[in-house]
Amino acid sequence: MLTLAAIRNLMRNPRRTLAILLTVAIGTGSLFLFHGFNAGIMNQYRANSIHAFYGYGQVNTADYREKVYEKPWEHWMQNWPDLKRRLLGIPGVTQVFPRINFFGLLSNGNITVSGRGLGVDGAEEEKFFSTINVVQGKMLSNESDGILMGVGLARSLDLKVGDKVSVLSNTIRGTLNGAEFTVVGLYHTGMKDVDDGTFRVQIGQAQTLLDTERVEIASLGLDGNEDWSKVDTSIKGEFPGIEATEFAVLDKVYYQNSVDWLNAQFNVVQFIMLAIVVLGIFNTVSTAVLERKQEIGNLRANGESAKEILTLLTIEGLTLGILGALLGIIGGYIIVFLIIPNGILMPAAPGLTRQFYVKVELQTVRILLSFVLGFFCAVVASFLAGLRIAKMPIGEALRSN
């Protein structure tokens, strides 16, 4: 009976009802979208770090990463084919990418500059490292003499896709070795030191230049980031001479520090938004209830008890809270999938020189939290305002305008 009366009351004053619904919906939807934006930008940072640079993590010989050796190649991994087979046998590991870092001199015949080379398995890395921003040409794939260059490095040598470039490097025995390559693509990471000084060649070519069959490090592709702890435990148990390092540690400056900083910033913004949303809903709902003093006075004069009045107003608040929260969540989905399906274009982040899109990733757990917040605020505001009016003397309530 009280529920039907509450619904009739809401329909009797559609303007006031709409104002409350919009307030709850905008507040709920704003928080829902804000959490989705936070998740999107964090995942964007993680995906870029994993699929452009490090994979989910890297393996190398024990203590290699933390120490400086006079002859580092003596501490590289041996018997790579067998080691790769064993690594791929670890549950959760789907791909293994051998790599060698080296320094070389690049020449176009007239100009010579130094660069940091990375020997990679081009055919395998092309499938996984999908966020490398190749702006001209294509990714290094099956080309045995191909070279993928940073845009700044290519610019300094006046090279374009299809041009030839010579690379000279010292072998591990100290002699000079060289090879000629064909530019297959130019990449732009947005980090100036990377774009201006790095290049990639096939790992076989790098091993030939350095005169070694060893592999310095290997990046790992996994089913998902949640598998890292299990993979790390397996490597520690089965490979005593090998250590594994997660990408967040390897990329602490770009990824982990950025994520920590953004989390702290977002927490402050979230607190401010939460306060505004809660106060906004409380103010609108409370004001709407307090404006009905005379109406409630008439109900009391006709024999309705204070408890019944309070229950009626609480049911109204509950109904408005549920409907408003649902509208806010539905509105969030409409905005994300119809208005900004490609995400939000963001300016260059600290350390980057290019813009990037951030997709608003709406999370299921945030639906419940945003929904609860919206209807809880509406119910509590209705209850507190109703409690004040229900206890008001009937005569005073009837004299209210």
Q: How many structural domains is the chain composed of?
A: 2
Residue 37 and residue 70 in one domain: no
Same domain flag for 333 and 269: yes
- Residue 300 near residue 309, CB atoms below 8 Å: yes
- In 310-381, where do the E strands start and end? 344-346, 356-358
Query: What would the pLDDT profile of 73-122 be if each residue is shown by its tens digit?
Result: 999 999 999 999 999 999 999 999 999 999 999 999 899 999 999 999 99
Which residue reads 């307090």 in tokens? Answer: 290
Domain membership of residue 250 (yes or no) is no
Same domain? 191 vs 126: yes
Please check whether residue 106 lies inside any domain of the structure.
Answer: yes
Residues 21 and 134 in one domain: no
Q: Are residues 219 and 85 in the same domain?
A: yes
DSSP string spanning 266-295? HHHHHHHHHHHHHHHHHHHHHHHHHTTHHH
Separation of alpha carbons 9 and 123, rounded Å: 68
Whether 322 is covered by a domain: the verdict is yes
In a domain, 237, yes or no: no
Tens-digit pLDDT profile for residues 285-331: 777 666 777 777 777 777 777 777 777 777 877 888 888 888 989 99
Domain shared by 61 and 35, yes or no: no
3-state secondary structure of 151: helix
Note whether residue 232 is domain-resident. no
Do 390 and 312 share a domain, yes or no?
yes
Give the residue carrying structure tokens 């507190």: 384
pLDDT, mean over the chain = 85
Residues 6+ apart with CB under 8 A from 24: 281, 320, 321, 323, 324, 325, 327, 328, 374, 375, 377, 378
- Does residue 241 sit within a domain? no
What tokens were used for 155? 């610019």
Tell me the two tokens of residue 262.
Answer: 């953004």
Domain-located, residue 114:
yes
Query: Are 214 and 69 members of one domain?
Result: yes
pLDDT at residue 182, rounded to an integer: 97
Q: Is residue 190 left, alpha or beta, with left meaning phi > 0 and alpha meaning psi from -120 to 50?
A: left
Q: Both 191 and 281 in a single domain?
A: no
Same domain, 154 and 278: no
> With bands split at pLDDT 50, 70 and 90, how would you rate the model's confidence at 370?
confident
Query: Residue 10 sits in which domain range?
Result: 2-50+256-399
220-277 residue pLDDT tens:
999 887 889 999 999 999 998 899 999 888 887 677 777 777 778 778 877 787 777 7
172, 204, 223 — which closes off a domain? 223
Place of tokens 């090879």: 179
Asked which of 200, 223, 246 is the last residue of a domain, the reply is 223
Domain boundary among 223, 241, 272: 223
Q: Which of 122-136, 192-206, 249-263, 265-279 has the highest mean pLDDT?
A: 192-206
Residue type at position 319: T
Assess if residue 14 is contained within a domain: yes
**Are residues 61 and 183 both part of a single domain?**
yes
**Where is pLDDT greater, at 219 or 36?**
219
One domain for residues 112 and 26: no
Is the model's pLDDT at 350 over the cut of 60?
A: no
Instruction: Quote the DSSP letter at residue 174.
Output: S
